[in-house]
Structure 1
Amino acid sequence: MFAILLVAVTVIFGLWVFARWSKVKKYWKERGVPHYSPNPIVGSLTFLQRENPSLWIRKLYNDFKGAPYVGIWLFWRPALVVNSPEIARRVLVKDADVFRNRFLSSGKTDPIGGLNVFTVNDPLWSSVRRRLTVVFTAAKLRSLQPMTITKTKNLVNRIREESKKGPVPDLREMCTDYTTDVIGEAAFGVTSNSLTSPDSIMRRVTREMMAFNFHRGLSWCSIFFFPELVDWFRLSFFPKDTMNLLRKVFQTMVAQRGGYEKPVKEPRDLLDALVKIKQEATDDEITDDILLAQAAAFLLGGFDTSGSTMTLVLYELAFHPHYQERLYQELLEAKNKSEEEYMNTSLHPELTFLDAIIKETLRIFPPMGWLDRVAGADYKIDDNLTIPAGTPVYVNGVAMQVDDQYFPEPDVFKPERFLPENERNIVPYTYMPFGDGPRNCIGMRFAYQSLRQSLAHVILNFEVRALPGATRPHHVHMEQKGLFFMPDEKLSVQFVPRENTQTGL
């Protein structure tokens, strides 16, 4: 009797699964939306851990060229990829209230991963974002300039010492040492000397954040594409041992500044801003975990993305000496106007070609090139399609940025596209390396300031040369197991000290 019952239950369950799957796989076809055929288990996510998501979503864009959107499945959940700048504008800006939240999220078992400004949703997101914005005004960023200059000096000295031995063997490692020092000190208030001591506390932390094993890959894939799994398997956005160390560092630095009882009038850095948030909270909504989550997210979201961008800027310049010389002349002219030992941030607006080079690098290599949102209500995409509330939507910025319709010769490194006289001709919402709308990257200004400062003084002091037979920038292999668009091969260049350097470094 039991055997018969078991068989009956199995058959009924199998029929239910088959009926459910039949409905799922017809979802986009019935709505007239172009799509790949889904895998019966993972839907459209067959690329995970085998191909970088940015490369996959670029392929999707090209395979359905001209389609304003394409249907995909996150396992059995239908989602929409937006390939149209006009629809992107509505999703990110015009109708941002409908798409206020991200789809990616962590769970209750991962408070640090689930409560940071990158992953948390409303109403907590609005409260935290508003209070953190004060740190990233131009005036507040200028107060961080002395620290940034010190780290830049350390970087130049590091390059000078390494260059005596030959080519720098791992450009990304060196650049992330620099960004760890800058962002780690701004976020946690702790002195970071990664450029001079590879075993510094903050560098140990960021090195662990960069490491991907099977468990870490599973955690990130779940957080980004199947958040319900996080609590089931007690997964985490950050490595748990790393967060235990960061928690101790954070608590120590708060205590050294007088704890939460000492009033903070004007925040000097992110740590001060977080303490001030706690002091101004009228209830118990702002916990210590929420504060630590913001500092950890700022570190993770900044050190590797900025370090990778800095790496690729220098690598592109090594292969384009004519652009490098033009940049050097611009920097030299700006430096000669200054009576200070180091180039002040007040001169940064004059560095239009440096900005163009950074922006062109971010066009080709945006660290996070796809922007996820979730529809908070039924939403009319166009006359042919309305998506129901809860549908994940991905804006395909990484593909639009290399579409020859918007950027002629997209595979060619051409900084001139972003000079002031040309940048105004770029079609809006086809270039979004920092996102757009209310949920754009809060650290964008800080990233540009630290990149300008470091790159300016590196180029003022050194000529960067490509090595014979080195992989050209466009063919650099990108990470397969991670979700960000960053190189996973060691890139090596030669730094040659410039004669009669006039930088004072």
Structure 2
Amino acid sequence: MYFNFNTIGLIGVVIALFWYYGRSTFNYWKKLNVNYKEPVAFFGNVGDFAMFKSSFHDTLKSLYEHFPDEPFGGFFQMRTPVLLLKDPSIVYSVLIKDFKSFVNRGFELAYPNKDLNPFSGHLFLSEGDRWRVLRNKMSPVFTSGKLKYMYEQIFHCVEVLNKFIENDLKNDSIDVDVKELFERFTIDVIGTCAFGLECNSLKDSNAEFQAMGVKIFKPTIFNAVRVIFTAFSTKLLVIFKIPDVQKDITDFFLNVISSSVTYRRQNKIVRNDFLQLLMELQNTSRNRKYDVDVQKNDVLKGEEFDEIDVAANAFLFFAAGFETTASTLGFCLYELAINQDVQEKLRQEVQTVKTQCGGKLTAECLKDFYYMDMVLAETLRKYPPLPVLHRESVEDYVIPDTKIKLPAGTKIQIPIHSIHHDWKYYPNPEKFDPERFTHENKVNRLNGTYIPFGDGPRYCIGKRFAFMEMKAALADVMTKYNFSPCSKTQIPLSFKHGSLLMSPKNGIWLNISKIN
């Protein structure tokens, strides 16, 4: 009996300590005098998302609505305290005006060790001075002048897309999951424009690039385990050697990119693409590694930008570019199918511009698609690819017009989707209305209320490339096909639970028919 009582007592102490640990951070917002939503041990306020019962944007929407008349509010992402920003003026301050205080995204990496976590050093996750130098060195490839050289490669992929649709059409009509269709298209575009590779995703439904691309963002047990382990401590990820990206995905991209770099160097091949820029950056860092004068002013300070860094940033370009662009095109066609008047108006603009360009669209012609810009802008308002922006204070920061001082290291989230669907800024937000983005309406819009690509120095570096790709694809399909709802079309759309992105639960099924 004595042994049993001691055992029971020990178990009780362990449970009490376990429970205390799960709630040990929950006084954070109370101490700062910030209103917050009462959390649940370990899961904080994101239990439904962590348990695959909700999408992340719906979880944030619930939190956004919990503070109806307040400019911000506190919540807990598992055990981590996070400030949810609602007021556009504060959003503007964090992203632009006071950017120096929020230069970092604040993602906690289990281990920035290249051997254990090879893709930890890419631009999106880089912080401080390293981010500034990488951003400065990578930006030139995304200028309008550089992108023009990639247009012919994009248009080649558009032609392959058109042939793929034509081959599948039966009786001049077919039902298609346009989300999956454009995933294949965007993978082919990035493969050829970024790495000079023929991915053949449109021609081969079993293409490895397609499979790996989809796997990156698919909600899995692997991702769930990472979330649960992170709730306790990122040290558990180190102990059990759980990387940020699954090993088979990492190995695939490391092998593909390493092979491409080796082939180019051996055959002295130079291309106007993203991989070439990374290779040149690697060469520069090698030459400067032992240059003391350069080290004084160079953020890398002698640290070599090696092949793993090349692979990490190439992986980022692929992962960030294919899913988000494919989703935006899919959502756009979904809204055009439901709003046939908008689709017809867009089609007329495409036909007019195409005629003015002598029947062949060039990179220069794309800038004349004013209504298409409005359609895409409204699509990105209603369906922002990333529903949230992350920032972390790198120094103590007093929130504007308050006495609240955020300690350095405080996590901040800006709920893009919730702001884009706020009646105060967008009346009847569920209505698809491109007229919100006329020149006059854009000029009068509040700063901080439209941020699908982020804003400030850390806005999406691939924005221009994405728009060129989307506009080229839309310009082609609009003149050849009509898109309409079919028996499989889900109205309204539902979204995958446990997904960080806005990913439709059952795809985006539409009917595609030839235009006579």
Inter-CA distance 218–141: structure 2 relative to 1 (3 Å threshold): farther
Q: State whether structure 2 residue 281 is matched by structure 1 residue 277.
A: yes
Inter-CA distance 146–393: structure 2 relative to 1 (3 Å threshold): same
Q: 1:503 corresponds to which residue?
A: none
1:126 partner letter: R
Q: State whether structure 2 residue 422 is matched by structure 1 residue 399.
A: no
| Aligned partner of 1:136 among 142, 145, 154 | 142
Deviation at 1:24, TM superposition (A): 3.3
Inter-CA distance 150–105: structure 2 relative to 1 (3 Å threshold): farther
Q: 2:381 corresponds to which residue?
A: 363
What is the distance in 1 between the residues matched to 2:429 and 2:232?
29
What is the distance in 1 between the residues matched to 2:180 and 2:163?
15
Inter-CA distance 388–181: structure 2 relative to 1 (3 Å threshold): same
Deviation at 1:295, TM superposition (A): 0.6
What is the distance in 2 between the residues matched to 1:318 and 1:369?
24
Matches within 5 A, 1:34-433: 34-47=35-48, 48=50, 49-106=52-109, 107=111, 108=113, 110-164=116-170, 166-219=173-226, 227-259=234-266, 268-281=272-285, 282-283=288-289, 284-339=303-358, 341=360, 343-382=361-400, 383-433=402-452
**Conserved 8 A contact 2:75-2:82:** yes
Inter-CA distance 369–40: structure 2 relative to 1 (3 Å threshold): same
Deviation at 1:6, TM superposition (A): 8.2
**Conserved 8 A contact 1:379-1:387:** yes
**Conserved 8 A contact 1:217-1:482:** no
Inter-CA distance 23–495: structure 2 relative to 1 (3 Å threshold): closer
Q: 2:513 corresponds to which residue?
A: 496
Inter-CA distance 428–479: structure 2 relative to 1 (3 Å threshold): same
Q: 1:484 corresponds to which residue?
A: 501
Which segments of 5 or more consecutive residues in structure 2 lack a partner in the other structure?
290-302
What is the distance in 2 between the residues matched to 1:476 and 1:431?
22
Q: Deviations over 1:139-196 (max 9, x none)?
A: 1111000110000111112122222264233211111000000012223221122111
Deviates more, 1:68-77 or 1:274-283: 68-77
Deviation at 1:262, TM superposition (A): 5.1
| Aligned partner of 1:447 among 459, 466, 484 | 466
Deviation at 1:455, TM superposition (A): 0.9
Inter-CA distance 350–46: structure 2 relative to 1 (3 Å threshold): same
**Conserved 8 A contact 1:186-1:271:** no
Deviation at 1:11, TM superposition (A): 7.2
Which segments of 5 or more consecutive residues in structure 1 lack a partner in the other structure?
500-505
How many residues are paired up?
493
Q: Deviations over 1:338-369 (max 9, x none)?
A: 1253x112112211111111111111111112
What is the distance in 2 between the residues matched to 1:179 and 1:71?
38
What is the distance in 1 between the residues matched to 2:504 and 2:180?
11
Q: Deviations over 1:257-311 (max 9, x none)?
A: 125x9596xx600010011011111224201111100011111111011101111
What is the distance in 2 between the residues matched to 1:104 and 1:320?
39
Query: For 1:476, what is the secondary structure of its paired residue?
Result: coil
**Conserved 8 A contact 1:172-1:307:** yes
Q: Deviations over 1:45-94 (max 9, x none)?
A: 21222211111111211221121111111333321111111111111111
Query: For 1:345, what is the secondary structure of its paired residue?
Result: coil
Query: For 2:451, what is the secondary structure of its paired residue?
Result: coil
Deviation at 1:438, TM superposition (A): 1.4
What is the distance in 2 between the residues matched to 1:212 and 1:269?
31
**Conserved 8 A contact 1:365-1:486:** no
What is the distance in 2 between the residues matched to 1:216 and 1:13?
27
TM-score, normalising length: structure 1: 0.91
TM-score, normalising length: structure 2: 0.89
Inter-CA distance 41–23: structure 2 relative to 1 (3 Å threshold): closer
Deviation at 1:448, TM superposition (A): 0.7
**Conserved 8 A contact 1:368-1:485:** yes
Identity of aligned residues (%): 26
What is the distance in 2 between the residues matched to 1:183 and 1:20?
45
Q: 1:26 corresponds to which residue?
A: 27
Q: State whether structure 2 residue 461 is matched by structure 1 residue 458.
A: no
Inter-CA distance 431–482: structure 2 relative to 1 (3 Å threshold): same
**Conserved 8 A contact 2:96-2:455:** yes
